[in-house]
Structure 1
Amino acid sequence: MDKQSSTLNIAAVIPARGNSKGIPRKNVRPIAGLPLVAHSILDCRESQLVDQVFVSTDDLEIERVAEQYGATVIQRPAAIAGDNASSESALIHALEEIEAKHFQPDLIVFLQCTSPVRTGADIDQAIRQLQATDADSLLSVSPSHRFLWQAKEGEAVSINYDYRQRQRRQDLAPQYVENGSIYIFKPWVLKTLKNRLGGKISLFCMDEKAAWEIDSLLDWKILELLLTSDN
């Protein structure tokens, strides 16, 4: 599909480690007919605004799958591929590689394989929203209508409502949950703050089904239903 002309250079980065304990080999495990990592790659390729998609990985099988579906591979060092390595460490390394070997991006789109309920159109809308709001970074969210509590000094405390004056859920002030599907940031945010978010932050609202993330086999089954549903 032909890309739309844009004055911005936009790179997408998808971190995908080979070692995953909760669901072994999840990034190459088929879901809805495709390896999990392929869904995010194809979302980027469907986008009209993303110029190139990169997969950061330490795993040869993920490399092969990524290249098969049209991504450029960034080989992630073992030092930042362990269980305790942060996504930010992979993003910083990827940005350095992109700038040194490919081009100077104006924006980075960061996608997590484990939040695959999105489309290329979602990515484009998020990019346009960041530009329209003159934001420095953006995260995708889904609406939340839950009553939240926490335990504080041995007592139950209501967080987002007063239980003594219980409201209907639909009457609560709008609240959102970070859904992990799309992050966008200007390179200076990551370089300066070592964080995917910073400066002026924009919220990109998606529907509630986008809030599902794969952390367990139950999540996997639910996401497979969502990805294969026409609704």
Structure 2
Amino acid sequence: MTEIISIIPARGGSKGIPGKNIRPLVGKPLIVHSILDCRESRLVNQTLVTTDDPQIAAVARDYGAQIIDRPAELASDTASSEVALLHALLEIEKQGVEPELIVFLQCTSPLRTGQDIDWAIAQFREEGADSLLSVSPSHRFLWQKVDGQAQSINYDYCDRQRRQDMNPQYMENGSIYIFKPWVLKELNNRLGGKISLFIMPEEQSYEIDSLADLKHVEILMTQKLS
């Protein structure tokens, strides 16, 4: 059976915000917003939540997600998202599912919609991509320190251009990733092959990494609902 599956990794050991993935956000646990985005999508056939935490599993199951029990060694602070994604993919393949595409969603990016997911999938197919990431426009002048010396990264400070005259630049916003299974299996990466950029507005690109982020996103979501 060929289909499009979404995978939402959600481990239980968040240190920045304890219990982050099931912390309430405008009346629903954080992870639920991503599950509902998948249910709103017309193109996603199945939603998986890979977790090591029984509470997260129970919440996700109540909202219609299939649970992939993630081994503890794949849920440590140092374990990458890719190892969790690969484990989930192999587990679903054991059930006879052969995904055409995998949509990887991070529950820390709750401002996307199911329509955004469908638009991203449509763009993926139209461009003949192998992988896709969502981005938002960036207009920042970036610097770095090398051997104690300041260096401009994305512009020449001796010939400063107006921002509107610079080549378009984009920031990875962590909201949507799409890839063909071979990309993950062969490259051990969410990105590879022909990469497509799905551009989202900045106001949809906030990620929740702190309590301040959580409060800010809640204000935005409350305003949208009012």
Q: Which runs of 5+ in 1 are unaligned?
A: 1-6
Percent of aligned pairs with the same residue? 66
Residue 111 of structure 1 pairs with residue 105 of structure 2: yes
Against the structure 1 CA distance between its residues 126 and 189, is the aligned structure 2 distance closer, same or farther, given a 3 Å change threshold? Answer: same
Question: For residue 170 of structure 1, what is the aligned residue in structure 2?
Answer: 164
TM-score (norm 2): 0.96
Question: For residue 17 of structure 2, what is the aligned residue in structure 1?
Answer: 23
Query: Secondary structure at 1:230's aligned position in 2?
Result: helix
Shift of 1:178: 0.3
Question: For residue 50 of structure 1, what is the aligned residue in structure 2?
Answer: 44
Query: Secondary structure at 2:32's aligned position in 1?
Result: helix
User: Aligned equivalents of 1:229 and 1:53: distance in 2?
Assistant: 28
Root-mean-square deviation over aligned CA pairs:
1.3
Against the structure 1 CA distance between its residues 8 and 228, is the aligned structure 2 distance closer, same or farther, given a 3 Å change threshold? Answer: farther
Matches within 5 A, 1:55-204: 55-204=49-198
User: Aligned equivalents of 1:230 and 1:94: distance in 2?
Assistant: 33
**Contact 1:63–1:73 (8 Å) recurs in 2:** yes
Query: Secondary structure at 1:181's aligned position in 2?
Result: strand
Query: Secondary structure at 2:98's aligned position in 1?
Result: coil
Shift of 1:120: 0.2
Which piece of structure 1 moves more, 210-219 or 48-57?
Answer: 210-219
Shift of 1:153: 1.8
Shift of 1:102: 4.9
User: Aligned equivalents of 2:164 and 2:84: distance in 1?
Assistant: 39
User: Aligned equivalents of 1:226 and 1:192: distance in 2?
Assistant: 39
Shift of 1:117: 1.2
Residue 217 of structure 1 pairs with residue 214 of structure 2: no
User: Aligned equivalents of 1:128 and 1:8: distance in 2?
Assistant: 17
Shift of 1:161: 1.1
User: Aligned equivalents of 1:226 and 1:105: distance in 2?
Assistant: 34
Shift of 1:51: 0.1
User: Aligned equivalents of 1:170 and 1:32: distance in 2?
Assistant: 36
Shift of 1:129: 0.5
Query: Secondary structure at 2:183's aligned position in 1?
Result: helix
User: Aligned equivalents of 1:93 and 1:226: distance in 2?
Assistant: 34
**Moved runs in structure 1, 4+ residues, more than 3 A?**
none
Against the structure 1 CA distance between its residues 167 and 8, is the aligned structure 2 distance closer, same or farther, given a 3 Å change threshold? Answer: farther
**Code of the aligned partner of 2:212:** L
User: Aligned equivalents of 1:57 and 1:219: distance in 2?
Assistant: 23
TM-score (norm 1): 0.94
**Contact 1:36–1:113 (8 Å) recurs in 2:** yes
User: Aligned equivalents of 1:8 and 1:134: distance in 2?
Assistant: 18
Residue 227 of structure 1 pairs with residue 203 of structure 2: no
Q: How many residues align?
A: 225
